Amino acid sequence: MFSIANATSPAENKAAGEAFLAENGKKDNIVTTDSGLQYEVIEQGNGASPSATDNVTVHYKGTTIDGKVFDSSYDRGAPATFPLNRVIAGWTEGLQLMKEGAKYRFFIPAQLAYGERGAGRVIGPNSALIFDVELIKVQ
């Protein structure tokens, strides 16, 4: 298990994320794109695939690489709808690989997530992230 709980600097977060992704990318069920995004297909969909300029409705759960949940539409009890080109690059790229009804797990390197700035108190600078995403609808 890779832990960022004791990471005290952006450099440590980056090193932990890179080590996690290097190990994760060796698994048979993980696909790594040219950008470094990794994904696992949990369930295939059979509907439309979004383009970067579409709005999407999704259910999702976001965690740090050591499993701490920082956001979840499931916990809020309602899916989220947003323009796909207004989210982190890892989501914009990854969701375009999906079809409506699909469930994927994204392993997002820091540079495709919040980069050096981080986000909030839980996502530190240079943090890799994991998202379980269910694509419900493309508009």
What domains are there in the chain, each with its CATH number? Answer: 10-138 (3.10.50.40)
pTM of the model: 0.93
pLDDT at 7: 55
Tokens of 76: 């809020």
pLDDT at 8: 64
pLDDT at 6: 47
pLDDT at 1: 43
Q: Which residues contact 99 (CB under 8 A, 6 or more apart)?
A: 44, 45, 46, 47, 48, 49, 135
The torsion of the CA quartet 70, 92, 103, 110, rounded to 10 degrees, works out to -40
Q: Give the β-pairing of 103-108 and 129-138.
A: antiparallel
Annotated active-site positions, please? 60, 70-71, 88, 114, 131
The list of the chain residues with pLDDT below 50 reads 1-6
pLDDT at 125: 94
- Cα–Cα distance for residue pair 74/123, rounded to 1 Å: 19
